[in-house]
């Protein structure tokens, strides 16, 4: 207690001494403090000064730990996401074979049975093939030797040649040819060599989910009503047991197989409908990008370039766009009419046009569209 009083008294004496200083002394101390603050402020600005610094740079710097965390979490959780896709898809296929297929064979006409068997298995084969190719095919990386490439820039992160349309993936820590994005559900980058596999997987998975949702709508309604009826009868059975009215006939009980069947149908319809909505929106987004001949990254670059040139009264044209129809032919690798069957409607491991290092006019393009400006 006495020590606290002594400290408090010492502080008060020091404060009184400062107040007793003359006016000149106080002004001198204030000037010295201002000079010292100005000196350290100048040193700090000289060490951190950057003429390109703005609010966006400061915001990116503050979010750099968040970016680092997301990159590393995405890298390690990619295997989990792939396992989740395989597990959910396998569960839907198992429910269809165990629960729905016997019902279809018993109640549908032969024509409808042939349709469901043919379309369902074709859709499943296309989903499995394109997903396997998307996760196992390398998106493509530029060579490290500078002599092999001409007229390219240098990546600031990996200090290697960076051809046109190539971008650095912070998750894979490599440059990717014609990079679209890093997909955690593939645990792989989407680039020049597997972009078609990724889009085809999204398309056929959406088609399969829509097919299951439409085909199983009546079954879903019946299964949902049966589950509600189960809950009601279970409640009545508990009330009868509690009242001990032995003269009443207890409500019938449902077997485990019946419960599992109805719940599996509800699970199938809810999951397929949810995936159809979410993945369908993503598929439409990428379809619009393919129609314009650009990737997800190039969309942002082209938009900024278009706005910049618009202020100058100029028009921007994407140098990698050959027109809507030709963009789809280039993307899908359709050179002749029969390729729509052999390369689009059937599994095909054909390579895309070009090597991803240079972008010459593909042979399937009917007319060359000369760009006004290059990226």
Q: Residue 319: what pLDDT? A: 87
Q: Residue 280: what pLDDT? A: 96
Residue 247 lies in a domain: no
- Tens digit of each residue's pLDDT (9 = 90 or more) over 251-274: 556 677 888 888 999 999 999 999
C-alpha 241, offset from chain centre: 53
Q: Residue 177: what pLDDT? A: 93
Which residues are catalytic, by number?
Answer: 183
CA distances from 11 to 18, 22, 23, 79 (A): 11, 20, 21, 63
CA distances from 155 to 42, 112, 147 (A): 34, 56, 16
d(CA 222, CA 261): 11
Can you tell me the mean pLDDT for 99-119? 90
More confident: 240 or 42? 42
Band the pLDDT of 81: cuts 50, 70, 90: very high
For residue 375, pLDDT over 50 is answered with: no
d(CA 71, CA 6): 56
Residue 334 lies in a domain: yes
d(CA 347, CA 333): 13
Band the pLDDT of 371: cuts 50, 70, 90: very low
Q: Residue 194: what pLDDT? A: 96
Q: Residue 176: what pLDDT? A: 94
Exposure on the CB side of residue 142, measured as CA atoms within 13 A: 32
- Which tokens sit at 196? 């078609």
Q: Buried b vs exposed e over 319-339: b needs ≥16 C-beta within 10 Å?
A: bbbbeeebbbbbbbbbeeeeb
Q: Residue 68: what pLDDT? A: 73
Residue 301 lies in a domain: yes
User: What is the enclosing helix (H) or strand (E) of 264?
Assistant: helix 256-292
Highest mean pLDDT among 9-18, 140-149, 150-159, 301-310: 301-310
Nearest to 192 by CA among 204, 181, 208, 176: 176
For residue 63, pLDDT over 80 is answered with: no
Residue 175 lies in a domain: yes
Residue 257 lies in a domain: yes
Can you tell me the mean pLDDT for 223-231? 85
Residue 77 lies in a domain: yes
- Which tokens sit at 270? 């809810």
Residue 49 lies in a domain: no
d(CA 3, CA 7): 6
- Which tokens sit at 172? 């894979």
- Which tokens sit at 106? 């018993």
d(CA 329, CA 336): 9
Q: Residue 232: what pLDDT? A: 82
For residue 27, pLDDT over 90 is answered with: no
Q: Residue 56: what pLDDT? A: 66
* Rounded percentage of the chain residues whose pLDDT exceeds 70: 78
Q: Residue 356: what pLDDT? A: 86
Q: Residue 373: what pLDDT? A: 41
CA distances from 27 to 11, 14, 24, 39, 95 (A): 22, 18, 5, 18, 86
Q: Residue 243: what pLDDT? A: 62
Residue 31 lies in a domain: no
Can you tell me the mean pLDDT for 191-204? 96
Work out the mean pLDDT of the chain and round it to a whole number: 83
Across 127-131, 230-234, 247-251, least confident range? 247-251
Highest mean pLDDT among 27-36, 137-146, 344-353: 344-353
Number of domains in the chain: 1
For residue 231, pLDDT over 90 is answered with: no
Q: Supply the range of the domain harboring residue 170.
A: 61-214+253-358
- Which tokens sit at 177? 């040819």
Highest mean pLDDT among 46-55, 64-73, 160-169, 282-291: 282-291
Q: For helices 195-215 and 217-243, what crossing angle results, to 10°?
A: 50
């Amino acid at each position: 207690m006495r020590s606290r009083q002594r400290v408090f008294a010492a502080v008060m004496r020091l404060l009184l001494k400062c107040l007793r200083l003359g006016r000149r002394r106080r002004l001198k101390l204030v000037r010295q403090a201002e000079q010292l603050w100005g000196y350290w402020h100048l040193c700090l600005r000289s060490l951190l000064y950057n003429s390109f610094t703005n609010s966006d740079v400061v915001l990116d710097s503050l979010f750099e730990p968040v970016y680092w965390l997301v990159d590393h979490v995405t890298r390690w959780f990619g295997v989990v996401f792939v396992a989740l896709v395989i597990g959910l898809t396998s569960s839907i296929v198992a429910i269809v074979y165990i629960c729905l297929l016997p019902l279809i064979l018993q109640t549908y006409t032969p024509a409808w049975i042939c349709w469901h068997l043919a379309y369902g298995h074709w859709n499943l084969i296309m989903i499995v093939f394109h997903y396997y190719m998307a996760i196992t095919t390398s998106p493509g990386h530029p060579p490290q030797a500078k002599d092999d490439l001409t007229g390219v820039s240098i990546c600031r992160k990996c200090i290697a040649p960076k051809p046109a349309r190539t971008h650095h993936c912070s998750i894979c820590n490599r440059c990717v040819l014609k990079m679209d994005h890093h997909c955690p559900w593939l645990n792989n980058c989407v680039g020049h060599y597997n972009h078609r596999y990724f889009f085809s997987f999204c398309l056929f998975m959406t088609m399969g989910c829509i097919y299951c949702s439409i085909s199983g709508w009546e079954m879903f309604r019946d299964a949902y009503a049966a589950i509600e009826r189960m809950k009601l009868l279970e409640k009545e059975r508990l009330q009868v047991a509690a009242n001990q009215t032995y003269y009443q006939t207890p409500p019938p009980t449902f077997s485990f197989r019946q419960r599992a069947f109805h719940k599996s149908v509800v699970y199938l319809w809810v999951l397929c409908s949810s995936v159809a909505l979410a993945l369908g929106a993503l598929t439409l987004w990428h379809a619009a990008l393919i129609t314009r001949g650009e990737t997800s990254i190039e969309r942002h670059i082209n938009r900024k370039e278009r706005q910049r040139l618009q202020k100058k009264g100029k028009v921007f044209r994407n140098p990698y766009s050959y027109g809507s129809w030709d963009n789809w032919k280039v993307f899908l690798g359709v050179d002749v009419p029969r390729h729509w069957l052999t390369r689009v409607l059937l599994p095909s491991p054909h390579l895309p046009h070009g090597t991803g290092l240079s972008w010459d006019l593909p042979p399937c393009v009917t007319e060359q569209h000369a760009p006004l400006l290059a990226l």
